[in-house]
Structure 1
């Protein structure tokens, strides 16, 4: 007998155990890493703006784990993986801004310096930003490349409309209230949308390193896609386990193209490197 298309295992080497283990480590260490970043950022939020050189650069990801930057107002400096200063920015929610840069310019974001601000009024934030920019000009003789006149790579994300995540049920609805099986709801989602990514977290704030990698690959491919947050128990109750049963695949994220299960993060990376992903997404758009 034939196997339903959504239950076919991807025809590539399985990396599910490594994905599952790494994601568990991410959730176990999330809060400790967040506290560490908050401590380092808080040390930079003293009266009288600290020099940019006095603030420690924090890697955005280590061993597959996303760093939890503070969701607070601050000035920040982005460095490339090679340690070269790329951009100085200000934000009322530093965590979201940094995540946006990671998704838009993944090759240029390696580590970040953050100084939290007690006040998030425009004048205070601009004064802090100018302080770091002027300091950089004095020491390097020029502004960071991302702050150069006419360069919009680092700021266009802030003006772009972010597509909301798909919600499978209305608030207050549980699996027991459904008139159909949750598998049928999943089937409707993957058949109604060309590209769907079931991830841990949201489009702008993925909660798992593998989910972030999948979003980065889809963003780099410039393909239109939908996101379903398996952690959203208000709108997607029970989905975290149900999607594993539906696909017979033990880990999340999971990506579907034209109703077909493609795989998780490792398989997406492999497909991206050998050109299969570009071919698949291009064919699906025709």
Structure 2
């Protein structure tokens, strides 16, 4: 297999693992009372940071770029709304909506070079446009805002990589391997979530609502999310963000919907089942178009 073929295989395998874990990472929390979610977010982000520490040690501590923390800060800000979203509109619908806006923001910023990044080209641009369009056909304000913030989370890392090729840039010589930025990215997540939690404690007059029974499920959820995101970093490197974003952001919605149907009974009735099947067909079509646009 050629190097290009190997990269594609690694990229699509990593994308598949990311889709499965992103669609399942909130499942451990579903049956537990998580209150307003602020304590849960901090526990989840602590688990995320610990996974990043392990990955960083495995990679032998690559150079730390503080600007890469910004993406983590953006993600943590969007993640504040996750618990209210799941409680109000359900796990499946919530992930479908924020995944859609996540996809369009992340794909478009990479494809057209927003925020100072280099525009990415693909061999078959028409297929890429069709794939991205089909992946976001689904469409609740908190979920929309979260999706936009989530979609911006990789912008600082891609910006650093793009400008590492320019000798006059402060990022000249920076690594082109996305996983080298995991520790900085996840450190931004943990730092921001800690700031939000401390602000919450102040607002609650040092009487925050803590839910001990949610600690272990929250930690497991954070570990699953962190592993999924590491896979996403690998997919970004192997496929490029313009291909990986539509695939990884659209698939978890269907996985979450399956959990909602078979385990949590959030989706019931023939009409809703048919709509879910239609959504799956659209997502699968979008994913295949996006995948073939790289070949």
TM-score band, normalised by shorter chain: under 0.3
Bigger helix share: 2
Please give the TM-score of this superposition, normalised by the length of structure 2. 0.25
RCO (CA 8 Å, sep 6+): is it higher in 1 or 2?
2
More strand by share: 1
Which entry has the higher C-alpha Rg, 1 or 2? 1
